[in-house]
Amino acid sequence: MIRKFAIALLGCLALSLFAPAFAQEAPDVLVHRVTEEVLEIVRKDKEIQNGNTQKAIDLVEVRVLPHFNFARMTALAVGKDWRKASPQQQQQLTQEFKTLLVRTYSNALTGYRNQKMVYKPLKMNPGDGDALVRTEVVQPGNKPVQIDYSLEKVEAVWKVYDVVVAGISLVTNYRDQFGQEVRNGGIDGLIAAIAGKNKSLSTPPGK
């Protein structure tokens, strides 16, 4: 699972640097252009490659977070139980889920080892507000891994709301687990469970 998240992160970082000036740029062009810029930064950052998780977290928070629709991602991950949550609980869930993804991605980012990204042609009609960008990660000695990005246009800006790695959706991958937590302890129980997971991910090994 960590390997899959590591691969997914490489692609998620593709969206980390684009600015409003490029808001009308096609989604696949954005992914291709910015992925190469970001991966070049990571290739040169020996601290991240050597396990500096905090530096990886800082990178994700500054470069990646503004380009994800975490409210929609959280709603998709929670599924039908999302409607049971109050506005305050929805806000808490979104914050905790965002923290979970940041910590998971940041821990995985330290495992980057010069994988190569391959970009597939974009199938999209003019005026579409939703797009699927398909890529592959090529790793020496391993089969290529497919990564698909679901993006939506929000006020002329493209935002990611799901990442599918080797056929496994990031958001729906959590749905069964989250549903069980709600059945066991309600919405507050789910919030507490995600917060506990975040705490464990933030604890250095051996502590």
Q: Which amino acid is at 101?
A: L
Q: Which amino acid is at 191?
A: I
**Mean pLDDT per 10-residue run, the chain (207 residues)?**
52 47 67 72 83 83 80 96 97 96 78 82 88 89 88 85 90 93 97 94 62
Alpha-carbon gap, residue 140 to 114, rounded angstroms = 10
Q: pTM of the entire structure?
A: 0.80
Contact 7, 165 (CB under 8 A): yes
The helix/strand/coil state of 207 is: coil
